[in-house]
Amino acid sequence: MRDWATMGMDLITGTDPFTPRRGYIYVFIPQAGGAKIQSFKEIPVETLNGEWLIDPDIEPVLVEERSYIGVDLDCNMSVHFDGPVTEITLASGSGWVAYLK
């Protein structure tokens, strides 16, 4: 498993789309209760022998329906995305995004 914290984090606030400044977003951590994810763009991945296979030439897919979208996220929670995220939009609240290279 990679140590995502070593690649850095950014705090995102507001409801404007946030584009990562460093690589891809892999984790969202609410700063306080009430943070909601509205949507995000994710690069589809495949796995082989427990490793992600990522093709950066594949167009990211807009995701607007997952079990954690539109739900109040508690500050003790974290969302680990299925693939690398190239943009995230919050419906409310704020939170930290974590990067991998």
One-character DSSP codes across 2-39? --GGGG-EEEEESSS-B--SSSEEEEEEESSTTBEEEE
- Across the chain, mean pLDDT equals 88
The candidate with the shortest Cα–Cα distance to 73, out of 44, 101, 31, is: 31
Which residues face 52 on adjacent strands?
A: 47
- Considering its fold, how many domains does the chain have in total? 1
Q: For the segment 34-66, what is each residue's pLDDT rounded down to a tens digit?
A: 899 999 999 998 878 887 788 878 899 999 999
73: how many CB neighbours lie within 10 A of its CB?
A: 24
Please give the distance of CA 80 from its chain centroid, rounded to a whole number. Answer: 7
pLDDT at 101 over 70: no
pLDDT at 89 over 90: yes
Quote the pLDDT of residue 61. Answer: 94
pLDDT grade for 1, boundaries at 50, 70 and 90: very low
Of all residues in the chain, the percent with pLDDT exceeding 70 is 93
Domain that holds residue 30: 4-100
At residue 50, what is the residue type? G
Quote the pLDDT of residue 73. Answer: 94
Strands 9-13 and 94-100: antiparallel
pLDDT at 21 over 80: yes
Rg (CA), the chain: 13
